[in-house]
Every structure is written in structure tokens, then in C-alpha cells.
Amino acid sequence: MLSYPSGMSVSSRVLNMLAEALRHERRARRTRWRRLEAGQQALLVLAYLRKGETYTDLAIGFGIGTTTVFRYIREALEVLAARAAGLSEAITTAARKAFVIVDGTLLRIDRVGMASDRDRPYYSGKHKRHGVNVQIVADPAGRLVWASPALPGARHDMGAAREHGLIDALAAAEIRVIADSAYRGAGAHVEVPQRRRARENDLDEHPRLSANQKAVNSAHARLRGPGERANAQLKSWKILHKIRACPHHATLLVNAVQTLIHAS
């Protein structure tokens, strides 16, 4: 097996934050000795999350066993996930913004049991693939404010947002929300695009949008557009580009990546 020097687009601030968190965890566990120092462990975990490196490749590059790599990564993920922002913290942050953008994204998965239709809850009819649904809250500039726990991909965005308590929390805080048509009916505080009126009978065509309605939709799209940056920022960590772990571990990965994004 060969190894080679490489790089990744992660700031040293993120590396230092993770290394310090791991040192604190080691002191709490009263760990006397490890094969890798906390800084090297942090670098290993970032390579796993950012670049999607396999356990085998990481073991070769860092000169340790694959079982040790697994333990190091699992330990770091739990440390990062424990530091992830909760919904109440996200609402506090959102209350300081002019408005927030709410959107849902599908993170692809591949480990789903096909027997007895166990994969059906994870199959998204919209995206035509298996995945988990994650609700994203972004600020007007497209910066990530909060990422929700993962739910099976078949869940509709509105149902997922309500299950997390996101819609009610935003309404209680009187926060203006910009969202797409999937959130229609969420409440007066959620602004969605204009849509055509229903046909009076089956023979008629749908009435076209007026010029004013089209202008409103264009302005709405400009406000909602930056929210896609938060989705892209989350998926730029290759471990979330296609999750190959158990779907039940998706929330752990999302929370870990969310903490790193906020640290940067």
C-alpha cells in the first residue's frame, strides 16, 4: 500500500477547536496514553469527515490499525455532536436576523435493508433515491444556523419541520421565515411563493399568474436563493455526500459537521 501527502480545505481554527475538545475529553477519561496525540487524532477525523477517507486508508496514512481509527472517529463524533447547537439556541440566533430561510435537503444513503420493504421509509419519491431528510435553517446570507436531526427520506418537508418543533418555535418567536412551496400552510409567519388559483371545472385551464404575482415570486426567489448555500456547505463535507454508515447514525454525522461549520 502507498501513502502520499495531501491537503484539505479546512481552517486551522477548526483543527485547533477539535484538538482542544479531544484533550478535554481525554482528561475527563483520565487517559494515560494514546497512539496519536490529540492534534493528530483531530486531523484524522477531519480527513474522514471532509474527504470521506476510508478506515483502511486512514490507518495506513497515520500508521495505526483500522480498529483504532474506528474508535478515534467514534469518540470524536460524540464529542462534536455534544457541542452541536440545539433548536432553542438556533431560535435565539434567528431572532437577531431580519429573516431566516427554511429548507429541506436529502442526504443520500446506501445501507438500507430491502427485505420486507424496510427500505420504503427511506425512499424519497421526489428525489427518486434513498436518503434521510434534514431541515436546514439559514440566515439571509446563506450561513447555516441549524441543521435538524435526520428523519427517513420519505418524510415530507412540512411534516419533518413540524415533528422537530421548528414551525411552532419560529412562530412563537415571531420570526419571519422564507420558504418554498413545500411549507405552504405553515402559518402567516412563513412566506411561500404565489401559486395559480384552482380551476373552476375540469375543462378550464389554470388561471395564469398576474404580472404582480410573478414579480412577487421573483423577489421571493431572490431572498430564498442564499439558503441553497447552507445546503451546499453541509454537503461539501464528503461524508454527507453519500452516507455509507447505518442511517441511524446520520444524526450523529450531521451534528458533528454542524459543529465544525459553526467553528469555522
pTM: 0.89
Mean pLDDT of the chain: 90
User: Looking at residue 203, what is its pLDDT?
Assistant: 53
Q: What secondary structure does DSSP assign to the chain, as a single string?
A: --------S--HHHHHHHHHHHHHHHHHHT----SS-HHHHHHHHHHHHHH---HHHHHHHHTS-HHHHHHHHHHHHHHHHHTS--HHHHHHHHTTSS-EEEEEEEEEE-----GGGTTGGGEETTTTEEEEEEEEEE-TT--EEEEPPPEETTS-HHHHHHHTTHHHHHHHTT--EE--GGGTTS-TTEE----PPPPSSTTSPPPPPPHHHHHHHHHHHHHHTTHHHHHHHHHTSGGGTEE-S-GGGHHHHHHHHHHHHHH-
What are the boundaries of each domain within the chain? 12-82, 87-198+208-247
Model pLDDT for residues 163-185, shown as the tens digit of each residue: 999 999 999 999 999 999 999 98
User: Looking at residue 159, what is its pLDDT?
Assistant: 93
Spatial CB neighbours of 133, under 8 Å, sequence gap ≥ 6: 104, 105, 106, 124, 150, 151, 152, 153, 155, 157, 160
pLDDT band at residue 259 using 50, 70 and 90 as cut-offs: very high
pLDDT band at residue 204 using 50, 70 and 90 as cut-offs: low
Residue 189 CB-density burial (10 A; 0-12 exposed, 13-18 middle, 19+ buried): middle
Model pLDDT for residues 85-126, shown as the tens digit of each residue: 999 999 999 999 999 999 999 999 986 776 777 788 888 888
